[in-house]
């Protein structure tokens, strides 16, 4: 039987009892220890046993050791920025009123998909009326 790189990695993780995280193709994560594997599945042991199809695995990496996580918890907490509500862009007609003649135009905020779709639809409707 030919030994693949993934087989040798899973074998070393199983022998050492290393905590690993499997990232699946649908971006979900499965963490635990590799208890068994073959050419089709990987059996993960955590609070419960889970069977993961190998063809669904996108990546595998060892989970940081619990000792490293506990030292990270002892570090002083950094202030987390509070979540702010998203600002809505003022209509283009309001922006034109605020601009003074001879001044540089202010940098327009990046249009969101919703506003650009509305502007495109309005432009199309005006073109249709003109015809």
pLDDT tens track for 7-35: 999 999 999 999 999 999 999 999 999 99
Residue 86 to residue 95: CA distance in whole angstroms: 18
What CATH number has the domain bearing residue 20? 2.30.30.100
Residue 48, domain member (yes or no): yes
User: CA 41, 37, 69: angle at the middle one, nearest 5?
Assistant: 100
Domain containing 49: what range? 5-66
- Band of residue 78 on the pLDDT scale cut at 50, 70, 90: low
Nearest to 110 by CA among 83, 81, 79, 86: 86
Do the beta carbons of residue 54 and residue 42 sit within 8 Å?
A: yes
Q: Which helix (H) or strand (E) holds 62?
A: strand 57-62
pTM over 0.85: no
């Amino acid at each position: 039987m030919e030994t693949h790189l993934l087989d040798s990695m899973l074998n070393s993780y199983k022998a050492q009892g290393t905590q690993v995280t499997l990232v699946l193709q649908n971006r979900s994560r499965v963490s635990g220890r590799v208890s068994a594997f073959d050419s089709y599945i990987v059996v993960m042991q955590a609070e419960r046993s889970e069977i993961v199809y190998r063809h669904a695995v996108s990546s595998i990496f060892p989970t940081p050791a619990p000792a490293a996580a506990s030292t990270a918890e002892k570090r002083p907490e950094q202030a987390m920025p509070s979540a702010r509500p998203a600002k809505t862009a003022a209509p283009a007609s309001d922006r034109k009123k605020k601009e003074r003649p001879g001044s540089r135009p202010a940098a327009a905020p990046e249009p969101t998909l919703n506003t650009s779709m509305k502007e495109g639809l309005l432009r199309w409707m005006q073109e249709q009326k003109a015809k």
